[in-house]
Structure 1
């Protein structure tokens, strides 16, 4: 709305970045990239940030609190939350948008909460016939009862970007790994090491119920694809992943099955290990990294859908699905 009362014909989009989690800086990069890529001829972007302490900041970087943020949100047509991890990707921002009566890009409360919880995701996947790594759930009360007997991966139940994740290949490394994971969550998942190729599948759900699957992406690393490898440029991405047609079909089918079982919307990245026995689910990201060089935008670009066009599609679908 201009100062003369003439309505701006553009769609006003609230792009939210940051967040009070260990993924704050990654989210800032994703949100900035998204806001810059939205076509200014079509979209009026309102940039909102949540600082590491949970304080909302207006487009000028001034603290406005939740009440002030809601006032700004209510002036927008649609919300595009680009907050990775807890207090964002876990459904909390989708819930806030829902309560404010605003359409929101991406998964809703239920899917965000389920997918963020790696233990719950395992249970859902197994229930629809998608394999996961054998594992156990630990809390501070029962961690002392767990005895290391073979190599395992230790990870917080609800954290992303491989924060707090450790490969434990000797008993002496268990306590430090558990300490690192429990520093981020009060529940920790201990899983058997899965030997297989790391392949990601991006699924896009459309308002008409159809599913679009982007070309698969294989992550090629010298060892574990951990926090450092995700952001230091050492990982190599192969798009599409060099697979037999049967392997690709099995991955795509498993990804869509999990996407639908969790109730995802918009785009989600479903990560697998492709083993000799078939796909084994690793995790589901309902708000994956979203810079132009992140995995999901690169996967859709390989299918001919450029980054700005992918964002335009997601925003239009959120408005249509409303």
Structure 2
């Protein structure tokens, strides 16, 4: 009997358009002989099922069901394709846990922790995970530009603490640029993190639960045409994403070991994609994404393809692993 799969997409953040693309790729890729897939759009003002004719049917939030095809549809599993809030920060994970509906991403605590860059880095530091020097600010804090420069140096990165797709990120070269960069980050979040610039090779490492095992996918080297791996570099072709990465066997072994350790220390499951920069021959963690892009051009599917895993296999496995757990 075919399983009913809700592919949730959209969300409440600036990443909603990217999420819609990812969700539609998942919907179109899932095996129609095995699954009844439904596109579910999650927005602040509405949760709706959108059919192939763009008709909208409301979602009953009491049990996450819909009325369609003259009947009530209950879902066997949720495929989470929401980048940012509420799909990547723990809210949807907690909701589905309460409803006892399996979902493809990590659990609530892991989602909330990894979405908060500051808390993530603090949690991993005792395990020997190397990171950039950082300085924290909350909205309303006094901004001491001299103290910031003394702590992290110049150039530095000013980032929204809880945001993705490089929204709210600026690279700052002069102390006089800090104020505008900080204001830009506060547009995305009320917490920001200011980090030391690490000048080295950047790589992206996909780690997933595949057929019951923690699997590190082939590594991608990021070569941005822009000043850093910003929105245009990620989504408008302004970068080279080279898989497998052009790094030494020693660097490959080190970053694979660290990425797998991060995944397992955090008790992750489902998809993850973490970013590292090599400094002094050691990988330094930048961030962990738990709902990475899932389009044909996205990094994680490219890595899966390099490992001989098709998009259909990748998505099918995510559902199988979720329902097994």
TM range (shorter): over 0.9
Q: Which consecutive unaligned segments of at least 5 residues does structure 2 have?
A: 67-71
Q: Aligned partners of 1:144 and 1:154: how far apart in 2?
A: 13
Q: Aligned partners of 1:237 and 1:315: how far apart in 2?
A: 27
1:83 counterpart SS class: coil
Query: In the TM superposition, what is the alpha-carbon distance from 1:18 to its structure 2 partner?
Result: 0.2
Using the size of structure 2 for normalisation, the TM-score is 0.91
Task: State the match for 1:38 in structure 2.
Answer: 30
Query: In the TM superposition, what is the alpha-carbon distance from 1:143 to its structure 2 partner?
Result: 3.9
After superposition, where does 1:234-253 map in structure 2 within 5 Å? 234-253=238-257
Q: Aligned partners of 1:289 and 1:82: how far apart in 2?
A: 8
- Residues 255-264 or 36-45, more deviating: 255-264
Query: In the TM superposition, what is the alpha-carbon distance from 1:69 to its structure 2 partner?
Result: 7.2
After superposition, where does 1:121-270 map in structure 2 within 5 Å? 121-147=120-146, 148-149=148-149, 150-206=154-210, 208=212, 210-222=213-225, 223-270=227-274
Q: Aligned partners of 1:75 and 1:89: how far apart in 2?
A: 23
Query: In the TM superposition, what is the alpha-carbon distance from 1:142 to its structure 2 partner?
Result: 2.1
Q: Aligned partners of 2:45 and 2:125: how far apart in 1?
A: 35
2:61 counterpart SS class: helix
Query: In the TM superposition, what is the alpha-carbon distance from 1:68 to its structure 2 partner?
Result: 7.0
Match of 1:13 among 5, 19, 24: 5
Task: State the match for 1:62 in structure 2.
Answer: 56
Q: Aligned partners of 2:276 and 2:99: how far apart in 1?
A: 36
Asked if structure 2 preserves the Cα contact closer than 8 Å seen for 1:57 and 1:69, the reply is no
Count of residue correspondences: 311
Match of 2:304 among 300, 303, 306: 300
Q: Which consecutive unaligned segments of at least 5 residues does structure 1 have?
A: 1-8
Instruction: Establish whether residue 102 from structure 1 lines up as the match of residue 101 from structure 2.
Output: yes
Task: State the match for 2:69 in structure 1.
Answer: none
- Residues 243-252 or 144-153, more deviating: 144-153
1:115 counterpart SS class: helix
Using the size of structure 1 for normalisation, the TM-score is 0.92
Instruction: Establish whether residue 27 from structure 1 lines up as the match of residue 40 from structure 2.
Output: no
Instruction: Establish whether residue 90 from structure 1 lines up as the match of residue 89 from structure 2.
Output: yes
Q: Aligned partners of 1:65 and 1:39: how far apart in 2?
A: 24
CA displacement 1:179-230 (0-9 Å, x = unmatched): 111111111000110111110111112574x311110000111330101111
Asked if structure 2 preserves the Cα contact closer than 8 Å seen for 1:125 and 1:132, the reply is no
CA RMSD of aligned residues (A): 1.7
Q: Aligned partners of 2:135 and 2:82: how far apart in 1?
A: 28
Which segments of structure 1 move beyond 6 Å, counting only runs of 4 or more? none
Q: Aligned partners of 1:126 and 1:302: how far apart in 2?
A: 31
CA displacement 1:270-319 (0-9 Å, x = unmatched): 11002223000010000001112210011010010011111011111111
CA displacement 1:124-176 (0-9 Å, x = unmatched): 22121110100011012324234353221000110000000000101121111
Task: State the match for 1:6 in structure 2.
Answer: none
Q: Aligned partners of 1:257 and 1:311: how far apart in 2?
A: 24
Relative to its length, the structure with more strand (as a share) is 2
